[in-house]
C-alpha cells in the first residue's frame, strides 16, 4: 500500500525538506482510511524517506536535510489547481451519470455505432495502453452525445487529471484482465440503456460503473 503514497510524492514533485499535506487532507485526497495512511507514513519513516515532527508535520527526508531546512508549502501553492483521485471520483459521480442520461436522449445513430465500436475494440485490447485508449473514447463519445458544451468542458478537466502520472500509476496497479472484462460489461450496459433511450438506466449504470472503478482503484469507500 505504501506505493500509493510514494506515487503521490513523485507525482507532486516533492523534494527533500518539503512538507506533506496535513494527515486529514492527505487521507481524503488519496481516498484512504487514516489508519491505513498512518501505517504508510510509519513505514516510509522507518525506511528513512520521511521525517515526522509533532506539531510541525511530515516532511520529505533526504541527505543533508536538517530541521532548519524543513519547509512549509510555498505561498503560491494554491495558484495551480491540484486534485487527487478521491476528488476526481467525487466529481465523476456528480457529472458523468447526468451526462449519460442526456446522451440517452440525444445520441445519434452514428454515435451509438461509434460507442459500440469502442467497446468491441476495448474488449480485444492486448495492452493496458490500448484498453485505456478505447475506454477514454467510449466516455468521450457519451460526452459528445450529451450536447452540452459546459459539461463537456468540465469533463475535459477530469480527463486531463486522469491522464496524469499519479492516476496512471494507480490504474496500472489496479487493472487486471478480469477487471477490464468487467468494465467492458459495464460499458455495454450503459450503451444498451442509451440505445433504449432510457435515461434513468443510463444514469444508474454509469453511476454503478464509476463506483466499481473507484473501489478497484481506491478500495472500499470510507
User: Could you tell me the CATH number of the domain that includes residue 140?
Assistant: 1.20.120.530
CA atoms of 73 and 19, how far apart (whole Å): 6
**Is the model's pLDDT at 141 over the cut of 90?**
yes
Q: Note whether 52 and 92 are same-domain residues.
A: no
Q: What DSSP state is assigned to residue 71?
A: -
Kindly state whether residues 210 and 124 are assigned to the same domain: yes
Both 109 and 193 in one domain: the answer is yes
**Is there a domain that residue 99 lies in?**
yes
Q: Do residues 137 and 117 touch, judged by C-beta distance below 8 A?
A: no
CATH number of domain containing 10? 1.10.10.10
Please tell me which residue, 103 or 51, carries the higher pLDDT value. Answer: 103
Q: Over 90: is that where the pLDDT of 166 sits?
A: no
Lowest mean pLDDT among 39-43, 148-152, 197-201: 39-43
Q: What is the pLDDT of residues 100-120, one digit of tens each?
A: 999 999 999 999 999 999 999
Do 137 and 201 fall into the same domain? yes
Same domain for 50 and 92: no
Please state the domain count of the chain: 2
Q: What is the pTM of this model?
A: 0.67
Residue 85: other Cβ atoms inside 10 A: 23
Same-domain status, 29 and 110: no
Q: Which domain holds residue 44?
A: 1-60
189 shares a domain with 117: yes
**Based on the domain organization, do 41 and 115 belong to the same domain?**
no
Whether the predicted pLDDT of 185 surpasses 80:
yes
Are residues 155 and 93 located together in one domain of the fold?
A: yes
Mark whether 46 and 122 lie in a shared domain. no
Is residue 75 assigned to a domain?
Answer: no
Residue 59 β-bridge partners: 19, 51
Indicate whether 63 pLDDT > 70. Answer: no
Q: What is the pLDDT of residue 74?
A: 41
Amino acid at each position: 500500500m505504501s506505493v500509493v503514497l510514494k506515487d503521490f510524492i513523485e507525482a507532486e514533485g516533492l523534494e527533500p525538506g518539503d512538507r506533506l499535506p496535513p494527515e486529514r487532507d492527505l487521507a481524503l485526497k488519496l481516498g484512504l482510511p487514516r489508519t491505513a495512511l498512518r501505517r504508510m507514513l510509519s513505514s516510509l519513516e522507518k525506511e528513512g524517506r520521511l521525517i515526522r515532527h509533532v506539531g510541525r508535520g511530515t516532511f520529505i527526508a533526504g541527505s543533508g536535510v536538517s530541521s532548519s531546512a524543513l519547509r512549509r508549502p510555498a505561498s503560491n501553492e494554491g495558484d495551480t489547481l491540484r486534485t487527487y483521485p478521491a476528488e476526481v471520483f467525487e466529481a465523476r459521480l456528480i457529472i458523468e451519470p447526468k451526462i449519460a442520461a442526456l446522451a440517452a436522449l440525444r445520441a445519434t445513430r452514428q454515435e451509438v455505432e461509434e460507442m459500440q465500436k469502442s467497446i468491441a475494440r476495448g474488449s480485444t485490447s492486448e495492452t493496458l495502453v490500448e484498453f485505456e485508449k478505447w475506454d477514454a473514447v467510449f466516455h468521450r463519445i457519451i460526452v459528445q452525445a450529451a450536447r452540452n458544451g459546459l459539461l463537456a468542458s468540465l469533463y475535459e478537466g477530469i480527463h486531463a487529471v486522469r491522464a496524469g502520472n499519479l492516476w496512471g500509476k494507480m490504474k496500472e496497479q489496479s487493472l487486471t484482465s478480469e477487471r477490464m472484462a468487467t468494465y467492458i460489461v459495464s460499458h455495454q450496459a450503459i450503451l444498451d440503456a442509451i440505445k433504449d433511450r432510457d435515461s434513468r438506466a443510463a444514469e444508474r449504470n454509469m453511476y454503478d460503473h464509476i463506483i466499481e472503478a473507484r473501489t478497484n482503484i481506491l478500495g472500499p469507500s470510507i
